[in-house]
């Protein structure tokens, strides 16, 4: 997908390196959100319980497939959208409950996506990029066997720290 869109010769497309490609299933703390208390303090207070709760939940969720079918251009990025499987909905519901139990707003993302490009400035030819995105045929499937809990130190996922890798049990 990235190679096809990169050929558009659009200087404003900043390609996300393959090592940084990921799918956010949900969040304990959002990097671009400010809280009444510092994130470090929130994580120190709730992180252990959050990880235990997530680990317990994932023991009931088996491996699943993410199916990407569409490329979309937003005001800040070019993303590949995936269908939202039931397993992701269950994980997000659990994260919502864990956040709410800690006194935080329980909202979670509503789409499943991976960011292919960031927009580094004004596009030279937006209609051509939009047309290319719409015409890009996507039929990518990825088997998910574990969930990595990552702390994003600098947005957008340029500097991260992996905190835990939680396997999904095979049934």
Q: Fold for domain 2-167?
A: Cyclic Phosphodiesterase; Chain: A, (3.90.1140)
For the entire predicted model, the pTM comes to: 0.87
Q: pLDDT class for 157, splitting at 50, 70, 90?
A: low
Whole-number percent of the chain with pLDDT over 90: 56
In the structure, what pLDDT confidence band is assigned to residue 15 with cuts at 50, 70 and 90?
Answer: confident
Which range has the worst mean pLDDT, 4-8, 25-29, 32-36, 167-171? Answer: 4-8
pLDDT bracket for residue 88 (50, 70, 90)? very high
Share of the chain above pLDDT 70, in %: 93
Residue for token pair 């209609």? 127
| Matching residue, tokens 């939680």 | 166
User: How far, in Å, CA of 49 to CA of 12, rounded?
Assistant: 42
Per the listing, tokens 């999904």 go with: 168
The phi and psi torsions of 98 (rounded to 5 degrees) equal: -65, -45
How confident is the model over 105-133, as pLDDT tens digits?
878 999 999 999 888 888 888 888 888 88
Q: What is the pLDDT of residues 62-83, one digit of tens each?
A: 999 999 999 998 888 899 999 9
Q: Domain limits of the chain?
A: 2-167
pLDDT of residue 30: 87
User: 3-state class of 14 per DSSP?
Assistant: strand
In this prediction, residue 8 has a pLDDT band, given cuts at 50, 70 and 90, of low
């Amino acid at each position: 997908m990235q190679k096809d869109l990169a050929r558009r010769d659009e200087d404003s497309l900043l390609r996300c390196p393959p090592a940084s490609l990921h799918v956010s299933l949900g969040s304990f703390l959002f990097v671009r959100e400010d809280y009444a208390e510092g994130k470090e303090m929130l994580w120190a207070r709730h992180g252990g319980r959050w990880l235990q709760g997530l680990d317990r939940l994932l023991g009931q969720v088996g491996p699943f497939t993410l199916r990407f079918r569409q490329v979309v251009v937003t005001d800040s990025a070019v993303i590949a959208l995936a269908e939202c499987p039931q397993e992701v909905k269950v994980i997000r519901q659990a994260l919502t409950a864990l956040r709410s139990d800690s006194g935080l707003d329980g909202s979670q993302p509503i789409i499943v996506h991976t960011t292919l490009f960031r927009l580094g400035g004004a596009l030279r030819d937006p209609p051509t990029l939009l047309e290319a995105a719409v015409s890009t045929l996507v039929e990518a499937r990825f088997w998910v066997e574990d969930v990595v809990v990552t702390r994003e130190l600098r947005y957008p996922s340029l500097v991260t720290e992996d905190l835990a890798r939680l396997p999904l049990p095979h049934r």
